[in-house]
Structure 1
Amino acid sequence: MQAFPHSTTATPTAVVVPPSLALPVIESAFPRQLHPYWPQLQEKTRLWLLEKRLMPAGKVQEYADGLCYTDLMAGFYVNAADEVLQAIADYSAWFFVWDDRHDRDIVHGRVGDWRRLRYRLHAALDAPRHHLHHPDPLVAGFADSVLRLYGFLPRTWNQRFSRHFHTVIEAYDREFRNRTEGYVPGVEEYLALRRHTFAHWIWTDLLEVSAGCELPDAVRKNPAFRRAALLTQEFAAWYNDLCSLPKEIAGDEVHNLGICLISHEGLTLEEAVDEVRRRVEECIRDFIEAEQEALQFADAIADGSIRGKELSTAVRDSVGNMRNWFSSVYWFHHESGRYMVDSWDDQSTPPYVTNEAVGEK
């Protein structure tokens, strides 16, 4: 099954989706979209990773395009202005690199390195301009991407984004401690933590940047809009768990819905896979219903005023991109080298990461 007539990778190949991971409803009812800026996006994000020293040059050259990080964002925020999409894509690429650093710090027991990084990211989030030249490339790259995102919408949006990402950093710290202690959280505890480590509300905040319009609380917190947004992110997080289960079992992970179900509900591996898949499919069905309610809400706020029309259009754009997230996430997991564990020499060590501690001591 090929997602696009013309693949987004340099070497077009048919994408084979394993039956256990195939979701026919995504392939048939969620047509994949791609922002026309994608080719430039891929090139510029690759150059940004090099410029900010977020990955060694050899690894950028060998792995960056195949990891498909830009494909994921270009398939989600399809109505964004080019410069907005570029800022989002660079931030997203940074997020993946940060996730890998977090994992390597855990694997190699670098408690002090993680603690320093955690505090520096909090500081950079509050004052990105003062951290643009930080010795740790991960801190400097974060400051650069955040500062660019802060330039698109008013200060109130920036403050909300900052609050949400401070929570993400602390959730990563909770994961660090859980894994260091070998603690597998209970299912409900895990699901609550996952909403922060997957950054549910960050990706939802960025819908507003994509639409070029900050949404007031009455719109963002409307039950129909909020439910559609949450289902979009729950699908993405749980489908990620389904696809990354072999990688995370190999890497002694404890944060995966399947692992939590095995540990706390007594399920076999096969039963856990079936249960995660059931939840994923339920998200899709529920979203289709929530999507209609959110679009009705968009119609209702178009009250004939200029402001009403602006908000209605922004909500419609956001809901359309929520729908895009399903297909973009789905195909990303089958195209990205991030999940091709069977091709790695060591299934517990991704070939695109470095194991050395990085940053100022």
Structure 2
Amino acid sequence: MTVPPSLALPVIEAEFPRELHPYWPKLQEKTRLWLLEKRLMPADKVEEHVDGLCYTDLMAGYYLGAPDEVMQAIADYSAWFFVWDDRHDRDVVHGRTGDWRRLRLRLHAALDAPRHHLHHPDPLVAGFADSMMRLYSFLPRTWNARFARHFHAVIDAYDREFRNRTEGYVPQVEEYLALRRLTFAHWIWTDLLEPSAGLEIPDAVRKHPAYRRPALLSQEFAAWYNDLCSLPKEIAGDEVHNLGISLITHEGLNLEEAVAEVRRRVDDCITEFLAVEQESLRFADDLADGTTHGKEVSVAMRACVGNMRNWFSSVYWFHHESGRYMVDSWDDRSTPPYVNNESAGEK
């Protein structure tokens, strides 16, 4: 795989070795079947595109050490998330304001009571409910409540993005960064480190800078690297949500300067992560206080920090392997070939 020089990050290639969860081949197969069973994508789109989109590769490179059933639930949920993101995009493109509003309200409801939405006529709602039932089964209700709180905020952020795109509003840089942490679902992917490690991390540990800082850096890297890779496509498509576009619109930068600034932020995330990673591992060691619980939390903390590291390489290679970003190969650069452009939501 050759990475374009403008997007190459030698430090990732050298210092962040990539691994895949050993369950990955089965994961890919089962997620493909789940998308068909839940009618989340047409059968022809699944057959032609899903493996090449590499959604399961992205998750299998992140949540190493997760039990197979946890890995499967996360992979299916991630595939659902991409399908939801595509529905959101098509609702914007086709001006389906009423469809989007109904979907948003139903997802809020399904998040709080997934069992009641398992047979919803909209496959996106039913598939989401199925994912939530499975994800909620691994850890205590306190974790479930936190996950739900975090995802309610993600749904609301997608609604703000819908309005911004409809109105052609480009957020200011700081406003964009705050919104991006939600639309990229920073804290959702971080929450899912815990069922992967088999333990709910106590609040005192989870909120400690030694845990929170590397978690945020790994997610910021992913969001900003995505912006870097997507910038030319999104400028061409009159998009409004990209760090580079906010810098050009509100900070007076030209395209070359905006690319350099986004890349600087990406590089800074890597450098700072490498600096705080060792502090985090020392903190994890200190949690082993001689008690059984202390040992369990210490082991889980080390597993979570290790997977925060894995996110860097998984995200990096995903952007160069997934058909989701190979815009130059699409027949129509404005319409991804893996989406059903017209029929989504209610007419």
TM-score range, shorter chain: over 0.9
What whole-Å deviation, never above 9, does each CA across 1:185-229 have from its counterpart, x for those lacking one? 000000000000000000000000100100111010011110000
What whole-Å deviation, never above 9, does each CA across 1:294-338 have from its counterpart, x for those lacking one? 111101111011000000000000000000000000000000000
**Map of 1:177 onto structure 2:** 163
The answer to whether the 8 A contact 1:250-1:347 is kept is: no
Tell me the amino acid that sits aligned with residue 87 of structure 2: R
Deviation at 1:360, TM superposition (A): 4.6
Separation of aligned partners in 2, 1:259 and 1:341: 19
**Map of 1:269 onto structure 2:** 255
* Pairing partner for 2:2 from 16, 38, 43: 16
**Map of 1:331 onto structure 2:** 317
Separation of aligned partners in 1, 2:254 and 2:141: 49
Separation of aligned partners in 1, 2:344 and 2:13: 41
Deviation at 1:22, TM superposition (A): 0.1
**Map of 1:314 onto structure 2:** 300
Deviation at 1:249, TM superposition (A): 2.0
Question: Is 1:108 the equivalent of 2:90?
Answer: no
**Map of 2:80 onto structure 1:** 94
Separation of aligned partners in 1, 2:11 and 2:209: 25
In the alignment, structure 2 segments of 5+ residues that lack a partner are none
Deviation at 1:357, TM superposition (A): 3.9
**Map of 1:279 onto structure 2:** 265
Instruction: Quote the RMSD (CA, aligned, Å).
Output: 0.8
The answer to whether the 8 A contact 1:135-1:360 is kept is: no
Tell me the amino acid that sits aligned with residue 143 of structure 2: W
Give the alignment of 1:54-133 within 5 angstroms: 54-133=40-119
The answer to whether the 8 A contact 1:232-1:326 is kept is: yes
The answer to whether the 8 A contact 1:187-1:264 is kept is: yes
Separation of aligned partners in 2, 1:208 and 1:62: 34
**Map of 2:147 onto structure 1:** 161
Tell me the amino acid that sits aligned with residue 36 of structure 1: P
Question: Is 1:141 the equivalent of 2:92?
Answer: no
Deviation at 1:36, TM superposition (A): 0.4
**Map of 2:212 onto structure 1:** 226
SS of equivalent residue, structure 1 residue 254: coil
TM-score, length basis structure 1 = 0.95
Give the total of aligned pairs.
Answer: 347
**Map of 2:330 onto structure 1:** 344
Separation of aligned partners in 1, 2:124 and 2:237: 23
Question: Is 1:215 the equivalent of 2:201?
Answer: yes
Structure 1 stretches (4+) deviating beyond 4 angstroms? none
Give the alignment of 1:14-53 within 5 angstroms: 15-53=1-39
Greater Cα offset, 18-27 or 339-348: 339-348
Question: Is 1:235 the equivalent of 2:217?
Answer: no
Greater Cα offset, 347-356 or 335-344: 347-356
Greater Cα offset, 237-246 or 158-167: 237-246
Deviation at 1:252, TM superposition (A): 2.0
Tell me the amino acid that sits aligned with residue 43 of structure 2: A
Separation of aligned partners in 1, 2:344 and 2:315: 30
Separation of aligned partners in 2, 1:48 and 1:116: 24
Separation of aligned partners in 1, 2:276 and 2:12: 16
Deviation at 1:358, TM superposition (A): 2.6
Deviation at 1:130, TM superposition (A): 0.5
Deviation at 1:356, TM superposition (A): 2.0
Tell me the amino acid that sits aligned with residue 141 of structure 2: R
In the alignment, structure 1 segments of 5+ residues that lack a partner are 1-14
SS of equivalent residue, structure 1 residue 134: coil
Residue identity over aligned pairs, in percent, reads 82
Separation of aligned partners in 1, 2:235 and 2:37: 34
